[in-house]
Structure 1
Amino acid sequence: MNLNLEIKGKGYPILCLHGHPGSARSLSVFTNHLSQRYQTIAPDLRGYGKSRPNGNFQMQDHLDDLETLLDSLKIERCLLLGWSLGGILALELALRNQKRYEGLILIASAARPRGNHPPITPQDLFYTGVAGIVNWIKPGWKWNIETFGKRSLFRYLLSQQTPQAYHYLASDGVSAYLQTSKPAQKALFQALKAGYSRLDDLNHLKIPSLVLAGENDVHITCASSEETAKTIKQCQWRRYPNTAHLFPWEIPTQVLQDIDAWLNTLKFD
């Protein structure tokens, strides 16, 4: 399948993979910065953004799409960066053929993802809808954050309820949510229901890796990310206090500094 694609910058390529719900646009916090030194390649995964699916599909199809994409761009080697679901796909690509990848960056992701999200109430859904609509109209409005945002499901996605984070929600989050297809949701839920885990296969992974997690993440827990980091042989690990699943939107400067520092340790072929 031909994927909608955003390519920025020049230099060593980094394949950047978004989460669920998500799109290439939701990775702008990374691609706008990294494209100053590298070439960032951010596709809308099948069923997300503008990559519309032709019927139902399985998670395996994402991997085939991405390898076909790299082949079409004549990219023999690159770095991998994945956020949430994107991190799981990046990990799968590396396990398929690690000789193709120079390094791996996992953000709010894990080889055995586990969550501890509290039950969702009708009131949660109501406040989330109102907060999202108001924030789309007036991004980062403190009154909306205090009145609706902190009572909505956004309180689980963001520990730091700041205007900056809400600006990212408005510019990069709303459209991604609205464009996520039912086949994409079905494929993900089927994989999770099957009890996804690649933890036992990580001993085969020998490429340099960086794993970053928010301490208060309830979607993919910090503990599950740490478990992955400690199982990968060549891995640096960072835990960010007072942050949640969308921590790159909460503390972008710190996250990008840590990614830059790790990238500076690599020697590209």
Structure 2
Amino acid sequence: MGDRYRNSTTDAKGLNVYIQGQGFPILALHGHPGSGRSLSVFTNHLSKRCKTFAPDLRGYGKSRFNSNFNMADHLTDLEALLDRFEIEKCLVLGWSLGGILAMELALSLPERVTGLVLVATAARPRGSHPPITLQDNLYTGVAALLNYLKPSWQWNIETFAKRSLFRYLIQQHTPTAYEYIAQEAVPAYLKTSPAATRALYSAIQAGYNRLQDLEQIKCPSLVLAGDQDRHITADSSLETAQHLQNCQWQFYPNTAHLFPWEVPQQVLSDIDRWLEEHPQVIGS
């Protein structure tokens, strides 16, 4: 998981953006909590053929913003980012919250979005997460700290992680998954602002639902889901896929919300195959 990022920002008001590669632009949007670096599993691979732009969304990572804002402000920021880098057309990949923003971009700027890769997300997101206990929080804190200090330590995985909230985020407790959690999830969590959390939960409480608008999206789409995802269920991802006109659907058995870190090679292979079947989405 080598870090080949080039950090690029042009002014104090712009989002912090990690840029890799050359060629047709791919805009990669992270989830909550997250940052542009959280998408390295995708950008390290896709930047071999395209130019990837992975911003820290407002209130995340290095894009510091402590005042209250709403979800629509993310779209304003992203349109400004496209203008800043003179991106006329791009493929948009979004994971979780990033997938919701990807669909919103396709609805608001259809002439600029050539295709969508939607990862663990839904236009009417539904979860099946059990109630969180004090022990869940305690074990998660211990597991995260120990894994940050000593990634993929098997004793920690067996003793704490499998009894923590990690058991709902991943199903395959592999060294690779825990390396990603240590290197990308924990730092992103620590740099997620309360304002970003408030903006997301306000949208959820308002009953976010864009299913009926998805028929307006004409570009090719690929929807990927983990079959044991408790944060955004596979059923809600499938429902989204069924409302998109030009869509392929793929789910991964025995995986959860962080499935790209559980089965990265399988996910990347499926994205590659889709790109080969729809070369127009990357300008080919």
Instruction: Assess same fold via TM > 0.5.
Output: yes
1:99 aligns with 2:126: no
Letter paired with 1:15: L
Residue from 171, 174, 186 that aligns with 1:159 = 171
Q: Which residue of 2 aligns with 1:2?
A: 14
1:1-58 deviations in Å (ceiling 9; x for gaps): 4101100000110000000000001000000010011100000000000000151111
Q: Aligned equivalents of 2:206 and 2:217: distance in 1?
A: 23
1:105-125 deviations in Å (ceiling 9; x for gaps): 000000000001000000000
1:130 aligns with 2:142: yes
1:113-140 deviations in Å (ceiling 9; x for gaps): 0001000000000000000000000001
Letter paired with 2:155: W
Residue from 45, 50, 59 that aligns with 1:33 = 45
Q: TM-score when scaled to structure 2?
A: 0.94
Q: Aligned equivalents of 1:226 and 1:36: distance in 2?
A: 30
Letter paired with 2:93: L
Residue from 25, 28, 32 that aligns with 1:20 = 32
Q: CA deviation at 1:220?
A: 0.2
1:216-262 deviations in Å (ceiling 9; x for gaps): 00000000000000110100000100000000000000000000111
* Structure 1, gaps ≥5 residues long: none
Q: Which residue of 2 aligns with 1:185?
A: 197
Letter paired with 1:251: V
Q: Aligned equivalents of 1:239 and 1:35: distance in 2?
A: 24
Letter paired with 2:57: L
Residue from 62, 72, 83 that aligns with 2:95 = 83
1:204 aligns with 2:216: yes
Q: Aligned equivalents of 2:275 and 2:202: distance in 1?
A: 35
Q: Aligned equivalents of 1:211 and 1:54: distance in 2?
A: 32
Q: Aligned equivalents of 2:110 and 2:253: distance in 1?
A: 31
Secondary structure at the counterpart of residue 18 of structure 2 = strand
Residue from 205, 229, 234 that aligns with 2:246 = 234
1:48 aligns with 2:68: no
Letter paired with 2:20: K
Q: Aligned equivalents of 1:32 and 1:156: distance in 2?
A: 26
Q: CA deviation at 1:168?
A: 0.3
Residue from 252, 256, 266 that aligns with 2:268 = 256
Secondary structure at the counterpart of residue 63 of structure 2 = coil
Q: Aligned equivalents of 2:109 and 2:148: distance in 1?
A: 41
Q: Aligned equivalents of 2:273 and 2:90: distance in 1?
A: 18
**What's the Cα RMSD here?**
0.7
1:140 aligns with 2:152: yes
Q: Aligned equivalents of 1:265 and 1:238: distance in 2?
A: 15
Q: Which residue of 1 aligns with 2:10?
A: none
In the TM superposition, structure 1's runs of 4+ consecutive aligned residues that sit over 3 Å from their partners are none
Residue from 188, 194, 197 that aligns with 1:176 = 188
Letter paired with 1:35: S
Among the aligned pairs, what percent are the same residue? 65
Q: Which residue of 2 aligns with 1:215?
A: 227
Q: CA deviation at 1:163?
A: 1.1
Q: CA deviation at 1:211?
A: 0.1
Residue from 96, 117, 125 that aligns with 1:113 = 125
Q: TM-score when scaled to structure 1?
A: 0.99
Q: Aligned equivalents of 2:167 and 2:77: distance in 1?
A: 34
Letter paired with 2:100: I
Q: Which residue of 2 aligns with 1:60?
A: 72
Q: Aligned equivalents of 2:15 and 2:105: distance in 1?
A: 17
Letter paired with 1:163: P
